[in-house]
A and B are shown apart, each in its own frame.
Chain A
Amino acid sequence: MRTISAIGTPHGVGAVSMIRLTGDDVFAVVEKVFCAKSKNACPRTAIYGNFKDERGFFDDGIVILYPAPASYTGEDMAELMCHGGVLATQRLLSATLSAGAVMASAGEFTRRAFINGKLSLSQAEAVGLLIEAKTDSCLDIGIKHLGGALTKSINECSDSLLSMASSMYAYIDYPEEDLTDLSPAELKEGLAAVLKKLDRLKNSYRYGKAITEGVKCAIVGCPNTGKSSVLNMLAGEERAIVTSIAGTTRDVVTETVRLGDVLLCLADTAGLREGGGEIERIGIKRSIESLNGAELVLAVFDGSKPQSDGDNSVIEHIKQAGKTAVTVGIINKSDKGKPHPYNLPFKQISLSAKSGEGAEALEEAVNALYGGGIERDASETVTNARQHAAVCRAAESVSAAIAALEAGYTQDVAGLDIEDAIAALGELDGKRVNEDIVNEIFSRFCVGK
């Protein structure tokens, strides 16, 4: 395959920058841009020398060569380390390009690793997880998935489904062979065990998503309850801010902040704070929209005052949106003395957004909702929508098989559901081809454009 080159370290000033190359002519390219000073230049060891281009030597640094197939991409690879700084790095990249390499497109190294069979689909995804990790737990899961941990728990499920299907089919294909038939009860029991495992995987996505992509969080409450202070408390501390991006579909600025293990995508619902009339109606409409789309609701109340009609109407909106299970009530302004008692249909904590006192209670409450804090096995955490969809499909098929057996349908029907479940799990690692998977690979690796 043609040789590609890319800067592997972030842009900007740093002590060291690294350029990566992979492809058929890597070593020829390196020879043109690097003059080794080390005596014994062995593969997979650091080789010291000088970098050069047509204008002459411009830097010194380290080169490591990885001959195929023992490399990340499975092809010949090289890593070129020069001094950090925009200029030196750019000049080295340009040197590799004039020496015959072409610029790599996004994700191309990982795509080659996948095509050459070095990574499974879920491992390729784990690479993305590692690169984009914003929480420690995410980093931890990324490393474990890269090692194949998720693949292993998925395989356990598909192995037991496979063994059930095969003993069932053995009996069907050899009805007179004196084999012991799997009874419907045994079958149901086996299926139930797999379903339990799949459900655990399925439910782990709540946590997996919370720590990788973040949960959509709406802050609601009557005017002057301190919503903006809560927002500032969450977002205001420099260490908590991770990114600040403009939403693409709605004209709302969202901020992603870390609260313990969980990433919160905060929607600014400033609308509620506007004055009366027309504008207020728009504001209420907006906050209801934001409430409906939220995966976590922080409802803010003024603890220095008794529960008001306004508060009750906020509670009513939350109920109507069906979000009571994912709502945390914040009784704010605990700095003003003992809070008034509030009667809320969801969990409540008391804090002072102004002083930050009681913030840990909020962190605890939110992390409890998203499964953080509990001892969790990284191998059983699903972290992206594709994995989640596949596990859901598998769980659905297994449930359908159980339902078919319970309704008195014959084993030929249950068998098909079991095979569907196996196929769904197989797709997780790209073991089975169908158009959807292929399309997904297309979009993921930006190929064919």
Chain B
Amino acid sequence: MITYNAEPLEVAVIGAGHAGIEAALAAARLGHKTAIFTLSLDLVGNMPCNPSIGGTGKGHLVYEINALGGEMGKAADKVMLQSRMLNLSKGPAVHSLRMQSDRRRYQDNMKHTLENTPNLKVIQAEVTEVRAEDGRVTGVATAFGAVYPAKTVIIATGTSLGGRIIVGEHAYDSGPDNTKAAVSLSDSLRAIGVSLRRFKTGTPARIHKDSIDFSVLEEQKGDEPPTYFSVEGEKSKGGYSCHITYTNGETHKIIRDNLHRSPLFGGMISGVGPRYCPSIEDKVVRFADKERHQIFIEPMGEHTKEMYLQGLSSSLPEEVQLQLVHSIKGLEKAEFMRTAYAIEYDCTDPTELKASLEFKNIEGLFGAGQFNGSSGYEEAAAQGLIAGINAALKLEGREPLVLSRGESYIGTLIDDLVTKGTNEPYRMMTSRSEYRLLLRQDNAEDRLIEKGRAVGLVGDIQYNRYLNDKAAIEAEIERLKGESLPKTAALDELLRSAGFPLTVGGIRKGELLKRPGITIADIYRLEGNSNPPERRIAMRVETEIRYAGYIEKQRREVEKLAGLESKRLPPDIDYSKIKGIRIEAAQKLAKLRPESIGHAARISGISPADISVLLIYLSQGGGKKE
């Protein structure tokens, strides 16, 4: 192979999916010469599965990306088809925004944003090689023979790395949506010391809109008015509906009768799939006593009649898929446009990464997204943003940005991945966070914008608006805590209708607001004020006042966590020489090299006794250079 020298880069990003986009934008916006490589420019920002952004836990990630100066939320707001706040009745901590998105417009938008970003080259080429010397990355080479020297490289290969699609008895090398798979890169990565393993995921069929009988389906409309991820910028109005239907006994019988033809159960697929979005055959087998499974029909975009069947992911042969879809109410005459498939791909073991997402053993090499063992666009984008920021900070000789579990879902996601590792594609969930009441969507900017600003990604417009919001929220909280409402018939009526005992005299407005069910709008009504604050401000005020006691309690716990987190474990510590530590524990710690006591304590298989031994070691001056 004849190669030629291409221009040197500061940051090379492999892959232009959701992780690669955020990584490249962050690095380029921070002023570093960056190139983003994609197998096809028609695949930039593709959503090969759900045409939606957000959801439980994932919505939190998008808000945090936005607070740090990332792109995903802004793009989603522009192409929104439907916006729905999930879990409204379950409390502010778990409110989660989900947006159906126009898939094609999302891609166009993202591609355009990349093209318009200074310092960023957008290149269609297959990266076949990542080069490293003496434990340091040196560059990348493409299939056409170009060799780009690069100071840092971010791998964001998604399901394209060693991708293989399986439908029934058919299997072939392919990335998502029948695109080219990256077949040579895996060997190159292994050669420089990156360990790879096989994960699996899948996607359901897309069917023609005109072949669906909507008259028998349950409609689900979006929220009116819609909520957005970002405040600034262009917003889509939405107005699209989703529809709900269910599988039935007949569907399940078809699946069971054809299980022997499923590559999943026939042993053709070796990769590990996610428990979090199982295929329909998985669900029917594992939850045999469930009479029906819910199917969500989602629009793919404004200018297409393709409809997505959420809940019907499958790798059964096409003819079986047709039968089973036709057994479902409303889909009896469904016409397939894209067949459901399973896809296997190569990814790394994230415990080989530091919390900055840089490889522990290869300086300058970063991983992000599905390559790190996660699942989901939002998880990918969050890691891409952090990897891009940290590549830039490294070039500048600055400390990496590491977010803690106590301040973000992004920190929780990355800590889970690099500390505990994962045996299946990792999905974010609200239950993964111990500090849910602090880590809400509505206060993401409060938690993170200063960090984004310090890094240099948050612009003046967003930052100044945030400062105004913050002042307005604080002033309103002070005002409500200080002012009282007199006892009136209207107050009595409000209390009675919300199910609370009447007050003897007047009541402080803040106290009134603490009663669940009573809103800021109620108080404004009693005040005779017809100009309540904007919704995002009002919601913050309500939550901060109503949940003050709980928020304070969690804040104290975060402080405790910070205590353990601040006890740093030196990277060159020789665990085998520490007296009293179990051999298995020493081996595990030597392999994972935790960065702090808090980090070590979260590693599975490390017992409290091991931690106490480490604390003794540190307290006796262990780890300090003699």
Contact = CB atoms under 8 A, between A and B. Distances in A.
Nearest to A175: B86
A236 B473 CA distance: 73
Given A169-B430, A410-B91, A410-B92, A175 B56 contact: yes
B241 to A, nearest CB: 14
Interface of B: 56-57, 86-87, 89-94, 96, 246, 292-294, 296, 429-431, 434, 436-437, 499, 515-517, 547, 550, 554, 560, 563-564, 579-580, 582, 601, 607-613, 615-616, 619-620
A72 interface: no
B358 to A, nearest CB: 27
Q: Point out which of A1, A432, A435 has the most chain B C-beta atoms below 10 A from its C-beta.
A: A435
Contacts of B294: 176-178
A447 interface: yes
Given A169-B430, A178-B293, A441-B609, A448 B560 contact: no
A299 to B, nearest CB: 43
B514 to A, nearest CB: 9
Contacts of B608: 430-433, 437-438, 441
Contacts of A411: 90-91, 94
A57 interface: no
Given A411-B90, A435-B563, A437-B608, A173 B430 contact: yes
13 contacts: A114-B609, A169-B430, A172-B90, A172-B430, A175-B90, A408-B515, A409-B91, A410-B89, A412-B90, A413-B91, A419-B434, A434-B560, A438-B608
A169 B579 CA distance: 41
Contact of B56 (A174, A410, A437, A442): A174
Given A117-B607, A172-B94, A408 B516 contact: yes
Contacts of A434: 560, 564
A407 interface: yes
A308 interface: no
Contacts of B56: 172-175
Given A176-B86, A412-B436, A115 B550 contact: no
A442 B437 contact: no
A42 interface: no
Nearest to B553: A416
B95 to A, nearest CB: 9
A161 B579 CA distance: 38
B290 to A, nearest CB: 9
Given A169-B431, A441-B609, A410 B601 contact: no
Contacts of B246: 178
Contacts of B609: 114-115, 117, 430, 441
A116 interface: yes
Contacts of B615: 438, 442
A402 to B, nearest CB: 15
Interface of A: 1-2, 114-117, 166, 169, 171-178, 407-413, 415-416, 419, 430-435, 437-438, 441-442, 447-448
Contact of B616 (A166, A178, A448): A448
A416 B90 CA distance: 13
Given A174-B56, A412-B90, A441 B612 contact: yes
Contacts of B547: 409, 413
Contacts of B430: 169, 172-173, 412
B617 to A, nearest CB: 9
A441 B613 CA distance: 10
Given A172-B431, A173-B57, A412-B437, A115 B93 contact: no
A442 B579 contact: no
B91 A173 contact: no
A434 B598 CA distance: 9
Given A117-B607, A438-B615, A442-B616, A176 B296 contact: yes
Q: Which A-B residue pairs are the 3 nearest by beta carbons? A: A410-B91, A412-B91, A408-B516
A189 B349 CA distance: 43
A415 B550 CA distance: 11
B607 A416 contact: no
Contacts of A413: 91, 93, 437, 547, 550
Contacts of A177: 294
Nearest to B514: A407
A2 B579 CA distance: 9
A438 B612 contact: yes
Contacts of A114: 609
Given A178-B293, A416-B437, A438-B612, 15 more contacts: A117-B582, A169-B429, A173-B430, A176-B86, A178-B246, A408-B499, A410-B90, A410-B93, A410-B516, A412-B90, A412-B94, A413-B550, A434-B560, A434-B564, A441-B612
